[in-house]
Amino acid sequence: MNPLLEKFNTPFDTPPFHLIKNEHFLPAIQDAIISAKNDIEAIKSEPLPSFENTIAALDRAGDRLNVVSAIFFNLNSAETNDEIQVLAREISPLLTAHSNDVLLDEELFDRIKLIYTQKDQLKLDEEQETLLEKTHKAFVRNGAQLDQTKKNRLREIDKELSQIGLKFGENVLAETNQYELIIENEADLSGLPDAVIEAAVQTAEEKGKVGKWVFTLAYPSYIPFMMYADSRALRREIFIAYNTKCSKGDQLDNQQHIKDMIRLKTERAALLGYKNFSDFVLEERMAKSGPEVIDFLSNLLQKSKPKAQKEVEELAQFAKDLDNLDQLERWDFSYYSEKLKKQKYEVDDELLRPFFKLENVIEGVFTTAEKLYGLKFVINKDIPVYHPEVNAYEVRDRKGNHISVFYADFFPRAGKRNGAWMTSFRGQKVIDGKDKRPHVSIVCNFTKPTKTKPSLLTFNEVTTLFHEFGHALHGMLAKGTYESLSGTSVYWDFVELPSQIFENWCYEKECLDLFAKHYESGEPISEDLIKKIKNASNFHQGYQTVRQISLGMLDMAYHSTEPSLIQDISIFEKEVMEATNLLPEVSGTLMSTSFSHIFQGGYAAGYYSYKWAEVLDADAFELFLEKGIFDQETATSFMENILSAGGRVHPSILYRRFRGREPKPEALLKRAGLI
């Protein structure tokens, strides 16, 4: 029996993870592709093309394939192994080929084109109009109008890109897992908090190195080491390891993969009539063109760089006064930054950690969602999970109606890539009048519990949880008819609005009072400490802004430069990032080779969207501040016009419906202390 080929006999038709084995995936994918092809043939057999029997039917086609592939690729990110990675290299080309079979089907496109030419006579509602527009554009933008020779080349390119992207991610994960900083001399632990040291002991034991301390490149290990370790030599060592991932000329090197991807993306864009890949991508974004993105980033750089330079100068002087440091290097920044923040604001992560026990923060996130949107989260042990650390919840509204299934996966492990993300196992849609509710997941890499302490989060981890939960709300509260327009299926530079706005609640006393209490005494976080958190929120904001701008500019440069001009990845990266450099260059380091957002994830020619969406979130949150952060009228408007609306109309229309006007960038500049 292959559980992926049967109806899921589970609560809410959730994936039967307890029954799924690796060998089930390939036959299930192959069977689902056949079923999806049959769906397409059924559409083409309808004698009179209509919106319902073609456009709407196409949105529903391949439903089983969508579910099975989502299960597989989510596991490849959160719980992978060698066998799954081998399968991914076999399955990915099958899915790419199937997608191209659909998008390059001339008979199918002729039906779509016919309906599209009649759209003004069809009396469609706004969601139907958007679906028709999006469907027609998807076929055009993926080669439906090309001749057969160019279609064949497009297929080859897409197959190559899918394989290279997988290999890029596998290499980053392998190199992340491969590195260990093994400490045998206790003196080398100087400066590190007890909780960090205890975690290093636990890591050492897990790796069979009892009696030693082991630090890795996983975020909860790497970041505290950079912030607190007094040993400058060891900070430099682990910094170099982190910033040379997949750039050493060995079998895990990603430099050629980057060049191949850029070459193939540029060729693909040219086949479709675009100058470069960024032009292709940005046609479907709120920012309409490369020059508009560059202008946006350049203007932000102009306003933030002077502040950033002053911050670095102040930190360099602080390090000199404190430790007679002649030159502030990149491996010094976090270390002295944390010390300066503590001196200025009398607050640091170790002071705050005891107030942010993971379980309390989760309850705080849930309570915030309940106060804003009336959601209740009930843990359900009957819902299968893919790892014992994962929790599954049933989400209900105020009336007790089922809204969503929500999975939460919080701790690092060897089979999970670094970072934090939201994803779905099933999107929301309406089928035969029945609302199929979504299955949403967030995956993080937070500080693990130890033998003596629960998981105590840094404040940055708290904001990360709120961020990813904001994405999850966008998915869970989806209320549309068509899955391809539902939930997070929106323009990429709009998708970060729900996540980034939700971070704002972390800084408000009314929200922190809900969950921030000492894990031992139960004492609530003091008003004085909340004030210090708020005061410190703009600490080194200029530096952080310039850092984000530098990544956005590097992304745009890769995807708008003629590939023949990118001969050396290291030189290219150095030249692009020179304008945003605030600290001395470190010879031999290279971040492009592990820049998974743009070379493995979906942010190619879209990394700028984090800053773009910050303009929206700062402007939108000002309304909550004016009305009250739990004001029901404002929350309901945000839910109906942003969170539930998905991509049913252009995001600028949705934003105006919520805010009553266009966004004003002054809100971001003000919040960041740049004006």
Which pLDDT does position 211 carry in this prediction?
Answer: 95
Domain-terminating residue out of 242, 263, 279:
242
pLDDT tops 90 at residue 672? no
- Indicate if 15 and 103 belong to the same structural domain: yes
Dihedral angle over CA of 248, 250, 251, 257, nearest 10: 50
Region 69-92: mean pLDDT is 97
Which pLDDT does position 675 carry in this prediction?
Answer: 78
- Give 148-175 pLDDT, tens digit per residue: 999 999 999 999 999 999 999 999 999 9
- Indicate if 130 and 222 belong to the same structural domain: no
Question: Are 58 and 42 contacting, i.e. CB atoms less than 8 angstroms apart?
Answer: no
Question: Are 357 and 519 contacting, i.e. CB atoms less than 8 angstroms apart?
Answer: yes
Domain-terminating residue out of 196, 227, 242:
242
In which domain, by residue range, is 194 found? 179-242
3-state secondary structure of 477: coil
pLDDT tops 90 at residue 601? no
pLDDT tops 90 at residue 673? no
Domain-terminating residue out of 145, 166, 195:
145
Q: Does 610 fall in a domain?
A: no
- pLDDT-derived band at 670, boundaries 50, 70, 90: confident
Region 264-270: mean pLDDT is 98
646 φψ region: left (φ > 0), alpha (ψ -120 to 50), beta (else): left
Residue with tokens 């709300």: 473
The one-letter code for the residue type at 113 is: K
pTM value surpassing 0.85 = yes
- Indicate if 39 and 105 belong to the same structural domain: yes
- Indicate if 56 and 189 belong to the same structural domain: no
> How many CB atoms neighbour CB 521 within 10 A?
8
Q: Does 127 fall in a domain?
A: yes
Q: Does 559 fall in a domain?
A: no
Give every CB contact of residue 269 below 8 A, 6+ residues apart in sequence. 275, 276, 277, 279, 280
Which pLDDT does position 449 carry in this prediction?
Answer: 94
What gap in Å lies between CA 470 and CA 486, rounded to an integer? 15
- Indicate if 19 and 130 belong to the same structural domain: yes
Q: Does 227 fall in a domain?
A: yes
Alpha-helix runs per DSSP H in 481-589: 497-503, 509-512, 527-535, 541-558, 569-577
- Indicate if 111 and 197 belong to the same structural domain: no
What gap in Å lies between CA 619 and CA 611, rounded to an integer? 13
Inter-axis angle of helices 330-345 and 232-242, to 10 degrees?
A: 120
Q: Does 540 fall in a domain?
A: no
Which pLDDT does position 674 carry in this prediction?
Answer: 83
- Indicate if 132 and 184 belong to the same structural domain: no
- Give 227-236 pLDDT, tens digit per residue: 999 999 999 9
Which pLDDT does position 295 carry in this prediction?
Answer: 96
Which pLDDT does position 656 carry in this prediction?
Answer: 97
- Indicate if 8 and 140 belong to the same structural domain: yes
Number of domains composing the chain: 2
Q: Does 262 fall in a domain?
A: no
- Indicate if 137 and 183 belong to the same structural domain: no
What gap in Å lies between CA 503 and CA 510, rounded to an integer? 14
What gap in Å lies between CA 59 and CA 451, rounded to an integer? 50
Question: Are 441 and 424 contacting, i.e. CB atoms less than 8 angstroms apart?
Answer: yes
Which pLDDT does position 362 carry in this prediction?
Answer: 98
- Indicate if 117 and 193 belong to the same structural domain: no
Is residue 198 part of the annotated active site? The answer reads no
> How many CB atoms neighbour CB 591 within 10 A?
16
- Indicate if 196 and 121 belong to the same structural domain: no
Q: Does 330 fall in a domain?
A: no
3-state secondary structure of 394: strand
3-state secondary structure of 661: coil
Listed residue (362, 638, 631) closest to 477, CA to CA: 638
> Catalytic pick from 79, 127, 175, 468?
468
Question: Are 643 and 498 contacting, i.e. CB atoms less than 8 angstroms apart?
Answer: yes
DSSP state letters, 188-248: GGTT--HHHHHHHHHHHHHTT-TTSEEE-SSHHHHHHHHHH---HHHHHHHHHHHTTTT-S
- Indicate if 126 and 8 belong to the same structural domain: yes
